[in-house]
């Protein structure tokens, strides 16, 4: 009754507080007025900031427009020059890709020049959005009193904001007009670049997939000489504008700064990591030079051309060659790579390359034969490229040689990375370094393919190759999706391994996570990530999820007919994993199988028996029958050793010997302590049982054998006899009864035949003695 009264009093108090919580109408109105005044003050402050911002924009706008107009004039003139250079460059892939680089640099220059006006446009657009929000607040309200209150408080800021908005519209129209000129020029640049890409693909096919004519024919040789003279005359006129557009001062300073930064990082790494200190100092130096020049090439405006690309590529490749253990092979191939790259950069015609390349390949073959370290395959390959150049396939020969050098370089780097990862993973099971090896190989293979496409063909070819699409139904497959899918696959495997090791390091209340729980959480994380990977793959190949409805319907039919066992095992695996009846590391007995659970998945359970045999058990079999889990609550196990001694043996002496043998064994647990029980007066003696506990079932047979041996020795020393049952063995012939009778008859015939044989011999002897021969009788008569 007192509790009921207390409950009623509490409910009344809470109701009173709820009724008195909200303010009255007058107080609410006063609170709204104060709130709107505070908001109005914030709007006025924002209005003042916007006014100052507008004034700053108006002050900076003339200079920004003038700078943009000047840049647009320069870049428009440069665009016309680039378009005119098409006729001077000649039909070579590297000349076309140089023009594409220049068009991209013009586009970047227009973006840089219009950046300030783009920022002004964004700030003015945000001001207009705020004014639109203010108008929406004034137009949308709940009641007439509320409307009057809002209109009264926001009337002044609204007028000021309207005036500011008119000024913003005027300035924004001026900014948009300036940006429209930049947009128009960028559109022309992108259209020119699109046309140049189409021209590049055509020229690339004509150069690398057709012959320029065999030099063994006199007409083709004269044509090659004419191409050489024409190239000598026109090439400088093509190189001149490219070299003049390059800001060499900024390029050199940026390259020097990049070299200093990379060299400082390498120096620190050599001091702190002995593995880096073991690399060649010259190789690290050239690698830093190449990285510095590459940084300058990709950051300085109008530094993207073949003359700036060649130095950083050659310096980087030579540094990598020096970092790897190499012989004359890589050095000679690097020389061939340099010669081929220089011919490409200088935009030599295909027929001219056919004249120069055989000499380069012959020199390389002579050096390799003199060194005697290269195999016949490499020498034969270079000789074949020399012959191919003579027959009009010079560009193809140079491209294959460059690809071979880059392949050997990539393989050397991959082998070095794998050796390093194997060294880190040595002696450790399931090491992350070992798991990272497939990822490293995949990344190196992807980088090699990208490098070949970019270096040999440039951005035009790479865009065309990776832009290829294959549509099968609603799915779209592309080449650029496959490397991404492989890299994500190995990253996912690495992330799963990291998560498993992280679970081993987590401590809850000062204790590590149990292996069974860690295995379950890791399995759930693995299935979740694989599901996300499948969804990512479907998204990558543009497969709509709605298209999977047909697959789901087909699976439902398949489950009804033939996949029900798989689904049954899957559901059973989920029940077992989350139910906790069977965990990884448990000792179970399922049917005739007895052993340790080494792995547990949603499909099956893997068990290792005592004789190290692996048994794979479907999960559904656990739910159909009983499971004997010997470590469900505790991992310890009790052993029973039966002993039967002869009648008349002293019981105390037997008990003492058994307990002493158990307590002296190192694998027998002290708690629970060993016990001895006399269980029966058996037929042949007194039957005892020794009970001992061990902590691991794998020690069962070893402990049983050692205890039995010790007990037998102690019984012999103390003259205690064990009781055994005698066994009388009776011979039983093999075969059926008819077969046994036939064997007996055959044995009787054999004996009878032997007896008759001996009797015949005896009768002959007896006859000779009783009746001598006639000759012997006559001689006796004489």
Summarised one tens digit per residue, pLDDT across range 663-718 is 888 888 888 888 888 888 877 788 888 898 887 776 777 888 888 888 888 888 88
Q: DSSP for 283-328?
A: HHHHHHHHHHHHHHHHHSTT--SHHHHHHHHHHHHHHHHHHS---H
Query: If we measure between CA atoms, which residue out of 495, 561, 505 comes closest to residue 529?
Result: 495
> What pLDDT is recorded for position 399?
87
Q: How many CA atoms lie within 13 A of 305 on its CB side?
A: 24
What DSSP line would sit under 754-773, residue for residue?
A: HHHHHHHHHHHHHHHHHS--
Q: Provide block-wise average pLDDT over 10 residues at a time, the chain (782 residues).
A: 44 44 42 56 67 80 86 87 78 80 86 85 75 55 44 52 72 84 88 84 80 83 85 82 86 92 88 72 89 90 84 90 81 90 85 89 87 76 90 88 87 79 62 63 74 66 61 65 73 73 65 65 78 79 63 58 60 64 73 76 74 75 68 72 84 87 86 86 82 80 86 85 64 66 82 75 64 52 46
* 628-629 β-sheet, strand order: 614-618, 604-609, 593-600, 587-590, 628-629
pLDDT value of position 292: 92
Q: Catalogue the long-range contacts made by 442-446 (C-beta closer than 8 Å, 24 or more residues apart).
A: 442/483, 442/486, 442/487, 442/490, 443/487, 444/410, 444/413, 444/414, 444/417, 445/410, 446/483, 446/486, 446/487
- List of long-range contacts for 259-268, beta carbons under 8 Å, 24+ apart: 259/288, 259/289, 259/291, 259/292, 259/293, 260/292, 261/292, 262/287, 262/288, 262/291, 262/292, 263/288
| Helical (H) or strand (E) element with 102 | helix 93-113
Find the distance separating the first CA and the last CA of the chain, reported in whole Å: 161
Spatial strand order in the sheet of 686-694: 637-645, 686-694, 675-681
Task: Look at residue 409 in the predicted model and tell me its pLDDT.
Answer: 86
Give the pairing type, strands 511-512 and 507-508: antiparallel
pLDDT given for residue 534 in this prediction: 81
Q: DSSP string of 27-62?
A: HHHHHHHHHHHHHHHHHHHHHHHHHHHHHHHHHHHH
Give kind and range of the element (H or E) at residue 94: helix 93-113
Cis previous bond, 672, omega within 30: yes
pLDDT of res. 616: 78
> Which of these, 607, 608, 614, 631, lies nearest to 694 by C-alpha position?
631
Question: Looking at residue 481, what is its pLDDT?
Answer: 72
- Cα radius of gyration rounded to whole Å, the chain: 48
Quote the CA–CA distance of 527 and 517 in Å, as a whole number: 16
Place of tokens 């906790």: 580
Q: What is the pLDDT, as a whole number, of residue 540?
A: 75
pTM for the model stands at 0.59
Question: What is the pLDDT at residue 256?
Answer: 93
DSSP designation for 782: -
Report CA 14 to chain centroid distance, whole Å: 59
Tokens of 276: 């880096």
CB 597 within 8 A of CB 586: yes
- Would you state the pLDDT for residue 726? 57
Alpha-carbon distances, residue 633 vs 585, 596, 630 (angstroms) = 12, 15, 8
State which H helix or E strand residue 18 sits in. helix 2-21
* Residue 631 main-chain phi, psi, to 5 deg: -125, 30
Nearest CA to 449 out of 394, 491, 487, 476 is that of 487
Reduce the secondary structure of 61-81 to three states and give it as a string.
HHHHHHHHHHHHHHHHHHHHH
């Amino acid at each position: 009754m007192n509790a009921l009264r207390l409950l009623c009093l509490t409910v009344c108090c809470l109701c009173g507080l709820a009724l008195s919580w909200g303010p009255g109408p007058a107080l609410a109105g006063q609170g709204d007025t104060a709130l709107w005044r505070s908001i109005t003050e914030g709007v006025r402050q924002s209005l003042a900031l916007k006014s100052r911002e507008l004034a700053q924009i108006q002050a900076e706008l003339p200079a920004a427009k003038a700078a943009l107009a000047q840049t647009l004039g320069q870049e428009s003139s440069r665009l016309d020059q680039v378009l005119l250079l098409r006729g001077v460059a000649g039909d070579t892939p590297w000349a076309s890709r140089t023009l594409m680089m220049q068009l991209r640099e013009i586009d970047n220059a227009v973006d840089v020049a219009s950046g300030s006006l783009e920022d002004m446009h964004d700030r003015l657009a945000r001001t207009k959005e705020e004014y639109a929000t203010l108008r929406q607040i004034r137009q949308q309200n709940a009641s007439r009193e509320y409307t009057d209150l809002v209109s009264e408080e926001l009337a002044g800021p609204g007028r000021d904001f309207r005036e500011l908005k008119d000024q913003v519209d005027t300035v924004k129209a001026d900014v948009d007009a300036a940006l429209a000129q930049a947009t128009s020029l960028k559109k022309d640049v992108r259209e020119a670049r699109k046309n140049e890409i189409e021209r590049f693909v055509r020229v690339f096919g004509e150069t690398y997939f057709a012959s320029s004519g065999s030099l063994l024919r006199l007409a083709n040789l004269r044509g090659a000489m004419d191409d050489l003279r024409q190239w000598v005359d026109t090439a400088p006129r093509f190189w001149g504008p490219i070299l003049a557009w390059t800001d060499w001062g900024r390029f050199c300073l940026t390259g020097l700064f990049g070299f200093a930064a990379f060299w400082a990082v390498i120096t620190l790494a050599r001091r702190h990591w002995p593995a880096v200190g073991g690399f060649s100092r010259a190789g690290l130096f050239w690698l830093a030079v190449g990285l510095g020049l590459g940084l300058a090439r990709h950051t300085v405006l109008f530094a993207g051309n073949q003359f700036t690309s060649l130095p950083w590529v050659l310096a980087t490749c030579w540094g990598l060659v020096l970092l790897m253990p190499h012989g004359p092979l890589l050095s000679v191939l690097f020389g061939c790579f340099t010669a081929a790259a220089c011919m490409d950069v200088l935009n030599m015609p295909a027929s001219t390359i056919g004249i120069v390349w055989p000499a380069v390949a012959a020199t390389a073959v002579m050096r390799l034969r003199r060194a005697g370290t290269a195999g016949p395959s490499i020498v034969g390959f270079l000789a074949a490229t020399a012959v191919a150049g003579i027959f009009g396939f010079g560009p193809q020969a140079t491209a294959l040689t460059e690809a071979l050098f880059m392949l050997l370089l990539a393989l050397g780097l991959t082998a070095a990375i794998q050796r390093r990862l194997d060294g880190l993973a040595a002696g450790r099971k399931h090491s992350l370094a070992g798991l990272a090896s497939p990822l490293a190989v995949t990344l190196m293979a992807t980088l090699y393919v990208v490098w070949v496409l970019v270096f040999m063909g440039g951005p035009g070819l790479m865009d065309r190759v990776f832009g290829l699409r294959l549509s099968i139904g609603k799915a779209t497959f592309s080449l650029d999706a496959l490397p991404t899918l492989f890299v994500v696959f190995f990253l996912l495997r690495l992330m799963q391994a990291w998560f498993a090791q992280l679970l081993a390091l987590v401590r809850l209340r000062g204790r590590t996570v149990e292996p069974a729980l860690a295995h379950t959480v890791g399995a759930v994380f693995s299935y979740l990530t694989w599901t996300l990977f499948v969804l990512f793959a479907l998204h990558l190949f543009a497969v709509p999820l709605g298209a999977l409805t047909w697959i789901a319907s087909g699976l439902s039919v398949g489950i009804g007919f033939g996949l029900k066992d798989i689904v049954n095992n899957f559901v059973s695996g989920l029940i077992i994993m989350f139910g906790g009846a069977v965990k990884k590391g448990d000792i179970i007995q399922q049917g005739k199988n007895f052993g340790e659970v080494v792995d547990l998945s949603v499909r099956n359970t893997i068990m290792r028996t005592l004789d190290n045999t692996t048994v794979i058990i479907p999960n559904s079999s656990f739910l159909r029958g009983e499971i004997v889990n010997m470590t469900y609550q505790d991992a310890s196990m009790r052993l029973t050793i039966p002993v039967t001694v002869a009648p008349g043996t002293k019981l105390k002496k037997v008990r003492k010997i058994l307990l002493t043998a158990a307590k002296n064994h190192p694998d027998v647990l002290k708690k629970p302590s060993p016990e001895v029980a006399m269980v029966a007066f058996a037929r042949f003696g007194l039957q005892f049982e020794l009970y001992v506990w061990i902590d691991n079932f794998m020690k069962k047979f070893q402990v049983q054998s050692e205890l039995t041996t010790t007990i037998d020795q102690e019984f012999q020393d103390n003259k205690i006899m064990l009781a055994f049952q005698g066994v009388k063995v009776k011979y039983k012939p093999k075969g059926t009864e008819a077969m046994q009778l036939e064997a007996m008859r055959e044995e009787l015939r054999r004996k009878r035949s032997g007896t008759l044989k001996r009797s015949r011999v005896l009768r002959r002897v007896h006859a000779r003695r009783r009746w001598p021969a006639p000759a012997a009788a006559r001689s006796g008569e004489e």
